[in-house]
Amino acid sequence: MDLTKTYPRSVHDKVHGLVQIGRAIDKGYALAFGNIGEYNYDCPMDQAVFGFLGIDHAKLLERIKQSKNVAEVEKYVSDEFISKKSAAEIEQWNHQWLSHSPQGDSLEYFVGLRDRIAPDRTDVTTWADLLDLDEKRTVPKRETAKA
């Protein structure tokens, strides 16, 4: 995975039913092989999914370095971590994670970034959608909240 030439998977993409983890794995691969570009492995978004699953980011990075391919890493993550979560826990995590909106100090940063990327998309209120917009993915229009 060369993140100097392409994007990691979307936050929305699922690995064995779970969002965000595929993106974190992609960034781990890019870091392991010196192609991470502007991305950060173990950023707060990665930390959230690692925390949910109980994954040590450094150990996962070592596993990535020793693996033959992405499928092998995904199987390891699924067998050792995702499989220990119930379908209800995964569904709840996915829903909360995909609807997570910035608050506090990060809201100002979020709005500034969104206004730079797509000033006409005030309907975009979640990090997952903003990352997709920034990475040139299609983000469906959503109804904006009425004041």
Reported confidence tier of residue 121, pLDDT bands at 50, 70, 90: very high
Can you give the residue ranges of every domain in the chain?
Answer: 14-98, 101-147
Given a contact cutoff of 8 angstroms between Cβ atoms, the answer to whether 75 and 83 are in contact is no
pLDDT in tens, 1-55: 899 999 999 999 999 999 999 999 999 999 999 999 999 999 999 999 999 999 9
* Residue recorded with tokens 């000033």: 119
B/e letters for 52-61, b = 16+ CB within 10 Å, e = fewer, are bbebeeeebb
Reported confidence tier of residue 147, pLDDT bands at 50, 70, 90: very low
How high is the pLDDT of residue 144? 63
